[in-house]
Amino acid sequence: MAKELLLKYGCNPNQKPAKIFTDNAELPITVLNGNPGYINFMDALNGWQLVKELKAATGIAAATSFKHVSPAGAGLALPLSDTLKKIYFVDDLELSPLACAYARARGADRMSSYGDFIALSDICDKQTAVMISREVSDGIIAPGYTDEALEILKGKRKGTYNVIKIDESYVPEPIEHKQIFGITFEQGRNEIKIDKTALENIVTENKNIPDDKKNDLILSLITLKYTQSNSVCYAHEGQAIGIGAGQQSRIHCTRLAGNKADNWFLRQSPQVMGLQFVDDIRRADRDNAIDIYISDDYMDVLADGEWEKVFKYKPEIFTKEEKQAFLSQQTGVCLGSDAFFPFGDNIERAYKSGVSYIAQPGGSIRDDHVIDTCNKYNIAMAFNGIRLFHH
């Protein structure tokens, strides 16, 4: 392994020269295929930390789908229901546990995952590689690859797909540095460990958080640790289902992530599951069509006659009332926040997306109001005392 690796360019083509390097050790990564760029490595290294910590905290293999230094999704290696297999377009595949984890990560927000960088906690197997080979993706990082998996991935994107192997025993220096405008910033690494002990201080009247929901809350918090702040993450049954990243206002994070969570649920509705697509439609076009069908803009698309390009038959309108009725059935969703909720309006919005369990640092001067709002809806909320800003 080398101490530095030259890159094509930095964040943008005009930013040259560019490289990654270490001062005191060899690089912990090996490029097995392709030529990863600056942003690729930022996504890869952030994604690797997320899945490594998620597996350590839950004991379950994990995957994440990264775009522009924030996760679009994260998932655990739990079996998929027939419904999830269908909405993730993997019902025709043989699924290993790790493949299930990536299907969950990719399926949280398929539009945002388009062109993602993948991180896996475990050695990439053939089944996961086959799934990845069908998706539009920029690259992958994992602690290893089976021979069959590596051969499949090397054939992706006409042989240019980025494949990175990372030394899973690598431990970085405790102090990290970053430069902005020629000035070097220094800080201790955020090495706080997130596990079930972070959920012990339950401040609401409802004190019951089941073990599977604790795993979902841990998933949401570790996901937030590597999401650009401000950020909020909705999680459900072993995966993120809505991530709101990089917003200046926390309520905007909660709304953005909640809207994504709603879309994830609506993809499982009878109206969406019954859609008939034209033959040989591209995956990206199918994903776009589903999002448009769910959206309030669908009437405008119908008026323009665009439906004929993607659907075999003109679908019935998915009315606002039908969508609200379907979403009203959803419950048991978990929500994590990277900093305290300043107002109860965040809880009001979260409840609309089926949130029943919350983990957040606490510490607002309006904590009492936030707790009262949770009690109003019988939501169990833990104050973990951990702020997870990431920049």
pLDDT per position as a tens digit, 25-60: 789 999 999 999 999 999 999 999 999 999 999 999
Q: Is residue 390 part of a domain?
A: no
Domain boundary among 155, 171, 187: 171
Task: Give SS3 for 163.
Answer: strand
pLDDT per position as a tens digit, 281-290: 988 889 988 9
Residue 1 is predicted with a pLDDT of 60
Q: Are residues 236 and 336 in the same domain?
A: yes
pLDDT band with cut points at 50, 70 and 90 for residue 303: low
Q: Is residue 62 part of a domain?
A: yes
| Candidate list 158, 207, 320, 391, residue with the active-site label | 391
CB 236, CB 258: distance < 8 Å: no
| Candidate list 68, 86, 196, 352, residue with the active-site label | 68
Residue 72 is predicted with a pLDDT of 97
Peptide bond into 35 cis (omega under 30): no
CB 222, CB 239: distance < 8 Å: no
Q: Are residues 192 and 294 in the same domain?
A: no
pLDDT per position as a tens digit, 326-379: 999 999 999 999 999 999 999 999 999 999 999 999 999 999 999 999 999 999
Q: Which helix (H) or strand (E) holds 322?
A: helix 320-327
Q: Are residues 258 and 286 in the same domain?
A: no
Angle, vertex CA 133, rays to CA 129 and CA 134, nearest 5: 130
pLDDT band with cut points at 50, 70 and 90 for residue 129: very high
Domain range enclosing 239:
176-266+327-383
b/e per residue 115-149 (b: at least 16 CB within 10 A) = ebbbbbbbbbbbbbbbbbeebebbbbbbbebeeeb
Q: Are residues 25 and 105 in the same domain?
A: yes
Q: Are residues 182 and 138 in the same domain?
A: no
Q: Are residues 50 and 110 in the same domain?
A: yes
Q: Are residues 28 and 58 in the same domain?
A: yes
Domain boundary among 129, 151, 171: 171
Domain boundary among 152, 171, 190: 171
Angle between helical axes of 97-107 and 126-133 (0-180°, round to 10)? 30
Q: Are residues 88 and 189 in the same domain?
A: no
| Candidate list 52, 55, 67, 85, residue with the active-site label | 67
Q: Is residue 146 part of a domain?
A: yes
| Candidate list 230, 263, 346, 384, residue with the active-site label | 230
pLDDT per position as a tens digit, 68-115: 999 999 999 999 999 999 999 999 999 999 999 999 999 999 999 999
pLDDT per position as a tens digit, 173-216: 999 999 999 999 999 999 999 999 999 999 999 999 999 999 99
Q: Is the pLDDT of residue 299 over 90?
A: no
369 noted as active-site residue: no
390 noted as active-site residue: no
Task: Give SS3 for 22.
Answer: coil
Q: Is residue 388 part of a domain?
A: no
Q: Is residue 189 part of a domain?
A: yes
HSE-CB for 31 with a 13 A CA cutoff? 17
The structural domain count of the chain equals: 3
pLDDT per position as a tens digit, 206-262: 999 999 999 999 999 999 999 999 999 999 999 999 999 999 999 999 999 999 999
Q: Is residue 54 part of a domain?
A: yes
Task: Give SS3 for 180.
Answer: strand
pTM equals 0.95
Q: Is residue 391 part of a domain?
A: no
Q: Is residue 219 part of a domain?
A: yes
Q: Are residues 301 and 232 in the same domain?
A: no
